[in-house]
């Protein structure tokens, strides 16, 4: 009789351990999927930015420094994205968003550019991508948070350590990215 009870307890413990393991595997893959969704959108935006810069370059007096900031920030995002360096991506994203804000603000001084159908389409496409990226970042951080809580809480932490499940970094942004936009500063050349 004692043998059957011990066998029953062993089966319960093993089943519970399998459920914990499977839950952690699911979370790990959810984090990877959330990152892949962001990566696709970043690639799409990465492909659109040179087109926007080229349209702006057609206007001879358009501020070269603004275009150079956008190009440099784009390169920073691409490097961080390729390395899957989440903290560096957060910093690079802040610089790119600031550069795009400056570019769109400077474009206000060029009526011909603002009325260019190609510029308007690119501006709308990039703005739409920015909104979608923001939504995906929120989903990514939520998924990472769920993963990190499970990896650290007991009894999941026992299984996580045994099978090398890791904490994942949140996609965080610089304080300047979170603060209110200074519209006067954006319109300064």
Task: Give the burial class of 14: count Cβ atoms within 10 A of its Cβ; 0-12 exposed, 13-18 middle, 19 or more buried.
Answer: exposed
Whether 53 has a pLDDT exceeding 60, the answer reads yes
Number of domains in the chain: 1
What pLDDT score does 37 carry? 93
Separation between Cα atoms, residue 45 and residue 89, nearest integer Å: 14
Q: For residues 172 and 88, is the Cβ–Cβ distance under 8 A? A: no
Q: For residues 24 and 143, is the Cβ–Cβ distance under 8 A? A: no
What pLDDT score does 65 carry? 84
What pLDDT score does 189 carry? 44
**Residue ranges making up the domain that contains 106:** 2-186
Q: For residues 70 and 96, is the Cβ–Cβ distance under 8 A? A: yes
pTM attached to this predicted model: 0.77
Q: What is the pLDDT of residues 4-48, one digit of tens each?
A: 999 999 999 999 999 999 999 999 999 999 999 999 999 999 999
Residue that wins the pLDDT comparison between 99 and 183: 99
What CATH number is given to the structural domain containing 164?
1.20.1440.20
Separation between Cα atoms, residue 23 and residue 156, nearest integer Å: 9
Q: What percent of the chain has pLDDT over 70?
A: 90
Query: Using alpha carbons only, what angle is made at residue 57 by residues 62 and 79, rounded to the nearest 5 degrees?
Result: 105
The helix-helix angle for 86-107 and 64-83 (nearest 10°) equals 160
Strand, coil or helix: what is 171?
A: coil
Q: What percent of the chain has pLDDT over 90?
A: 52
Strand, coil or helix: what is 76?
A: helix
Q: What is the pLDDT of residues 139-173, one digit of tens each?
A: 999 999 999 999 999 999 999 999 999 999 998 87
């Amino acid at each position: 009789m004692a043998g059957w009870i011990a066998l029953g307890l062993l089966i319960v413990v093993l089943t519970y351990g399998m459920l914990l393991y499977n839950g952690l595997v699911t979370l790990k893959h959810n984090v990877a999927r959330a990152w892949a969704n962001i990566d696709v959108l970043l690639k799409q935006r990465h492909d659109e930015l040179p087109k926007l810069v080229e349209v702006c370059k057609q206007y001879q007096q358009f501020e070269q420094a603004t275009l150079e900031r956008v190009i440099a920030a784009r390169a920073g995002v691409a490097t961080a994205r390729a390395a899957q360096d989440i903290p560096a991506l957060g910093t690079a994203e802040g610089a790119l968003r600031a550069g795009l804000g400056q570019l769109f603000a400077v474009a206000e001084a060029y009526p011909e550019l603002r009325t260019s159908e190609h510029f308007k389409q690119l501006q709308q496409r990039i703005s739409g991508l920015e909104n979608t990226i923001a939504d995906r970042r929120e989903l990514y951080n939520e998924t990472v948070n769920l993963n990190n809580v499970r990896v650290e809480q007991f009894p999941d932490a026992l299984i996580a350590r045994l099978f090398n499940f890791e904490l994942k970094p949140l996609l965080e942004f610089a304080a300047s990215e979170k603060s209110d936009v200074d519209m006067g500063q954006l319109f300064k050349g």
